A and B are shown apart, each in its own frame.
Chain A
């Protein structure tokens, strides 16, 4: 019995430590690549650590004209922030309307929204490209941001959340003579911070890491996001591998920091999506 338990513990720890090494190794390799010289990286010999530490890669990437990383970081930030704010406002309002306002066709509208959940957004990229190019939005921030503002999943989750929101508070507000609008903004919103933060973080990550849509829409270097800029050099004719690693490192650092700081909320957001109930 005790033996059994100890053996379990040993096995568990072995697996955990092995997993830790495997899961952290890619980050270590990224760091190693970013601080290596080009010659060491493309040579035929393996090194655990860069034989020569190349700290110049950072300034080389930031100054490099062919990798417009600064502009790409700015684009990614603008897009991710706008989409996060936009999704929270649009889906929050829609979720509340669907959860609370007894409109006759509410059920039909809700059905029309949820049915789109069955169609992955990625599959509609061809027709969406056609639409966005007809609007003249190719290679514009608008074309990159606006189509991503309408997330049926976020609306669905907000509706679920508001359905479980205690009604008494709202009824008190209604008796005080507040309209739907006033009730929502002054009573409901201030009490939904945690949930909104969770949805917001997940939206932000998804937006920052999105690739297919920005690749399709961002056709000029000025409109590239970080992911598209990286990918472009990954598939390009000639590129400096060491600079590519450094650019990738710069691209994921903000998100890694955010992750370590906000992990509790993110985890909560994933849990709260309720899909595992």
Chain B
């Protein structure tokens, strides 16, 4: 092979680079990063000089509903007292946000699923927002406030209430002569019955519901993750409840391997499944595609339990590392407490969500009829907080690993649950001790 001989670029520049590199290295050790990720983002009108107004970086996870991003940017632009820059963050939002709170590159205001984690609160990473509510506190859905309260203080403002339900294709159930299932055995039978060829009876996510359905199965058996500050799944009925998901799995009634997972209505709309567990937010897309050929029911119950729907809310939090904590809190109050018309718009114009303020629910016309009204009605009757506050990320990981082993590998639920108890107890000890 010939050796190409090409002189490299001129010396002087390279020499400067080499020597400059040494100096820069030394200088940078003393310096601290000045790029905090808070410069104006490329897609906003250049705000120019802020005229002494504080700058606020606000983070959202990537909502799948069309138009959400534009909406939150509009809200931010309407705020007069500060320059708010919206950061739209796809991917593993919970993980990256938690990690960013440690650094100066983190957000000032950010949303987090069901409010901040117990470790964020105990680590002083989020500000106490109790005083923002004033006399509006009674107007917020109590279960949401309760979920974001620790130590008598409220740590986040619930933005909108999200819920998940079981959606089914009316025509497919009628065609098979099946009623919407109300008990778990009926659900298992229906899923089996509706599975024909490439069409499956039920879609609970690409992992067969391992990541999603643990809670609803516990509630179906009248249990929960935690009972106050105690383990709540350590009793009779829990193993049986979890093994239902394994039964669905081995029956091969579950749809798997979809390009778009449970949070997208694609599988149901395309007719690859007769029933799908998904969020209320998908309803506009479903009714566009199917008209009124769908219905919504809560997750069915077992002996000793009741039907259930998981209810959660992204809560707006303020980082204690914010450049100006007070300005950040003022913005949160303005957007998520004062601006009720924006809250209503956010809840109902981009996929369906239930407003977190009780007084706004009647104003949400889209939730007034049809399956959306049914679903919204389940919140008060069958709603459960998705996970309790003391259920730490470590508990959640250990739980979902356990679920995956039970559902996908056929591990023995009793043994798995027994092994999980000390893990959860150790975590409870850590955060309450």
Contacts and interface: CB of A to CB of B under 8 A. Distances in A.
Contacts of A140: 33, 35, 105
Contacts of B32: 135-136
Interface in A207-263: 219-223, 231-233, 235-239, 241
B3 A138 contact: no
Contact of A219 (B1, B31, B103, B266): B103
B6 A238 contact: no
Given A66-B62, A135-B33, A194-B3, A220 B91 contact: no
Given A138-B103, A222-B37, A235-B91, A93 B18 contact: yes
Nearest to B12: A185
Contact of B69 (A65, A197, A232): A65
Interface string B186-208: 00000000000010000000000
Contacts of B5: 191, 193-194
A196 B4 CA distance: 11
A63 B62 CA distance: 17
Contact of B105 (A197, A220, A233): A220
Nearest to A41: B259
A186 B103 contact: no
Interface residues of A, dominant DSSP: helix
A111 to B, nearest CB: 23
Nearest to A93: B18
A89 B18 contact: yes
Interface string B325-361: 0000000000000000000000000000000000000
A221 B89 contact: yes
Contacts of B29: 135
B1 A68 contact: no
Given A66-B69, A146-B28, A89 B21 contact: yes
A139 B198 contact: no
Interface in A111-170: 133, 135-143, 146, 149
Contacts of A143: 33
B104 A138 contact: yes
A85 B9 CA distance: 11
Interface string B1-44: 10111111001001101100100010011011111010101110
A192 B127 CA distance: 59
A137 B36 CA distance: 9
A138 B90 contact: no
Interface stretch (B94-102, B218-226, B240-248, B295-303): B94-102
A193 B8 contact: yes
Interface in A34-76: 41-44, 65-66, 68, 71
Contact of B11 (A139, A185, A235): A185
A238 B260 contact: yes
A200 B3 CA distance: 15
B33 A44 contact: no
Contacts of B37: 139, 219-220, 222-223
Task: Count chain B CB atoms within 10 A of each CB in A221, A241, A268 and give the residue with the most.
Answer: A221
B105 A139 contact: yes
Interface residues of A, number: 53
A190 interface: yes
A197 B4 contact: yes
Contacts of B87: 220-221
B140 interface: no
Given A41-B259, A221-B89, A237-B62, A190 B33 contact: no
A217 B217 CA distance: 38
Contact of A138 (B33, B198, B261): B33
Task: Count chain B CB atoms within 10 A of each CB in A140, A235, A241 and give the residue with the most.
Answer: A140
Contacts of A238: 62, 64, 260, 263-264
Task: Count chain A CB atoms within 10 A of each CB in B29, B34, B42 and give the residue with the most.
Answer: B42
A63 to B, nearest CB: 11
A133 B102 contact: yes
Contacts of A219: 37, 96, 99-100, 103, 105
Task: Count chain A CB atoms within 10 A of each CB in B6, B7, B25, B105 and give the residue with the most.
Answer: B105
Contact of B7 (A86, A190, A232, A235): A190
Nearest to B30: A135
A165 to B, nearest CB: 13
Nearest to B39: A222
A135 B28 contact: yes
B4 A133 contact: no
B100 A236 contact: no
A220 B33 CA distance: 14
Nearest to A196: B8
Nearest to A88: B8
B88 interface: yes
A276 B90 CA distance: 43
Given A136-B104, A221-B87, A236 B62 contact: yes
A66 B90 contact: yes
A109 interface: no
A142 B6 contact: no
User: Ordered nearest first, which 6 A-B pairs have the shortest CB separation?
Assistant: A238-B64, A136-B33, A232-B91, A136-B32, A139-B105, A220-B37
Interface of A: 41-44, 65-66, 68, 71, 85-86, 88-90, 93, 133, 135-143, 146, 149, 185-186, 189-191, 193-194, 196-197, 219-223, 231-233, 235-239, 241, 264-265, 267-268
Interface of B: 1, 3-8, 11, 14-15, 17-18, 21, 25, 28-29, 31-35, 37, 39, 41-43, 61-64, 69, 87-92, 96, 99-100, 102-105, 198, 259-261, 263-264, 266, 270, 272
15 contacts: A41-B259, A44-B270, A44-B272, A135-B28, A135-B32, A139-B35, A142-B33, A193-B8, A194-B3, A220-B100, A221-B88, A222-B41, A235-B92, A236-B90, A237-B63
Given A140-B33, A232-B91, 18 more contacts: A66-B88, A89-B18, A136-B34, A139-B103, A143-B33, A185-B15, A186-B11, A189-B8, A219-B99, A219-B105, A220-B37, A221-B41, A222-B41, A236-B90, A237-B64, A237-B263, A238-B263, A268-B1
